[in-house]
Amino acid sequence: MTAVIEVDHLTKRYRETLALDDVTVTFAENAITGLLGRNGAGKTTLMSIITAQNFATQGTVRAFGAEPYENAAVLSRMCFVRESQQYQDESKPHHAFAAARMFFANWDQQLAESLVEEFRLPMNRTIKKLSRGQLSAVGVIIGIASRAEITFFDEPYLGLDAVARQVFYDRLLADYASHPRTIVLSSHLIDEIAHLIENVVVIDDGRIIVDTDAESLRGEATTIVGERSAVETFTLGRRVIHTDALGNTMAATVLGQLTEADRHALTQAGLDTEPVSLQQLVVRMTQHAHQTSPMNGASR
C-alpha cells in the first residue's frame, strides 16, 4: 500500500475543545477509504486540515509527499467540497460547475451533465433556493466529475433520498472503477457504504480508534447469544464490547475472529452466533471508546 496522505501527530484545539487529539494516520493511494465516526468526532476537521482549508495546532500533514498549505501543485490535485459548503451568492449550479471546470484539470463535463440529469438538479435555480438534497447533489457532482486524484466526500448524502443515494454510490463506484483514484468518504451511514470501502478509519472524540482494511474488520466481532451463564463462561477473558440481556438470555458482542475450536465450543454449549455488521461494530466501539483499546493497523 502506498500512502498518498500522511497525517502525523496532528492536534487541533479550539479554545477548550480538542477536535483532533494526536492523530496519526495514512490514506492509501487509489483506494476508497471510509472515514467513519459520530457527528463532531473530527471527520470534517481532519479533511479540512489535509486540504489546508483549516490549520493544525500541532503536527504535520503531507499529500503527494508535500505540505498542501499554499501549495498549488498539491491542492490542485485534491477536491474537498464541504457538507456545509458556501457557494457564491446568487450563483446557480451551472456557475459552480463552470468554476470547477476551470480549476480541476480532469473535469469531465459530460459526466457532470449526466449526473445533473440523474439527480434531477434544477440548473436555473440559485443554489440558495435549492433543497438540502439538491445542495448535496451539487457537491457530489463536483466531487465525482472533478476526478481529482484525491477526493473527499463530506457526508455527501445529507437530504438525498434513497434513490439519489443509490445513484451516488453506483456512479461513484463505476467512475472509480474506470478512473481509480484516492477517495475518502466520510459518513455515519455506515451500512450504506460498508461494501464500497476498501479501508476503514474510525475517528471518535478526535482520536483514531480503528484503522484497518474493511475485509479484516468483517468477522472481527461476533455476537454470542444464549443462556446467560453459558455466554458468561464463553466470553470470560475475551474483549466484550457490548452486552444485552432479555430475561435469562444474554447477547454479548466479542472482538476477535472466532477459531474452529471456538465454534466447536459454542456448538457444544448450545450458543448461537450472529454476525456483526460494520455499522454495529463501529457503533459499539464508539459507544465504549474509552473502554476499548485501539485496533490501529490490525492487519495492514
Partner 1 sequence: MVEEGRAIFLQIAQSVEDAILDGSLAEEAQAPSTNELAAFHRINPATAAKGINLLVDKGVLQKRRGIGMFVATGAREALLTERRTGFADRFLDPLLAEARAIGLSPADVADLIHQRTTSTPDPRSTP
Partner 2 sequence: MSRVLDVVRMHLLVRLTFVTLPLIILGGAFALTLAIFALIPSDGIKIAGAGQAPLWYFLSVGVMAQTRTFPFSQAMSTTRREFFLGTMLTGLLASGALAALFVVLGLIEKATDGWGMNGRMYFIDDFGGGNVAVAFLAYLVIAMLAFTTGLTFATVYKRFKVLGLWAAIAGVVVALLLAIVAITKTSSWPAVGDFLIDAGPLGLAAIGVAVIAVVGLADYLVLRRTQP
In the complex with partner 2, which residue's Cβ is closer, 179 or 218? 179
222 binds, among partner 2, partner 1, none (CB under 5 to 8 A by kind): partner 1
Is 244 a residue that touches partner 1 (CB under 8 A)?
Answer: no
Task: Return the C-alpha cell found at 193.
Answer: 457504504
In the complex with partner 2, which residue's Cβ is closer, 155 or 213? 155
Contact residue for partner 1 among 174, 244, 249, 299 (CB under 8 A):
174
Question: Can you say how many angstroms the Cα of residue 197 is from the centroid of all Cα atoms in its chain?
Answer: 8
Separation between Cα atoms, residue 51 and residue 45, nearest integer Å = 10
Choose the stretch contacting partner 1; rule: CB under 8 A; options: 65-73, 111-119, 191-199, 289-297: 191-199
Is 176 a residue that touches partner 1 (CB under 8 A)?
Answer: yes
Contact 121, 77 (CB under 8 A): no
Beta bridge partners of 150: 78, 182
Question: Can you say how many angstroms the Cα of residue 6 is from the centroid of all Cα atoms in its chain?
Answer: 16
In the complex with partner 1, which residue's Cβ is closer, 92 or 284? 284
The residues binding partner 2 (CB under 8 A) are 48, 51-55, 70-72, 75-76, 78-82, 85-91, 95-96, 98-100, 102-104, 142, 148
CB atoms within 10 A of CB 97: 22
Cell 438470555 sits at which residue?
Answer: 249
Is 150 a residue that touches partner 1 (CB under 8 A)?
Answer: no
The long-range contacts involving 263-267, CB below 8 angstroms and separated by at least 24 positions, are 265/234, 266/224, 266/234
Is 267 a residue that touches partner 1 (CB under 8 A)?
Answer: yes
Is 222 a residue that touches partner 1 (CB under 8 A)?
Answer: yes
Kindly identify the residues of this chain, within the stretch 193-212, that bind partner 1 according to CB under 8 A. 195-198
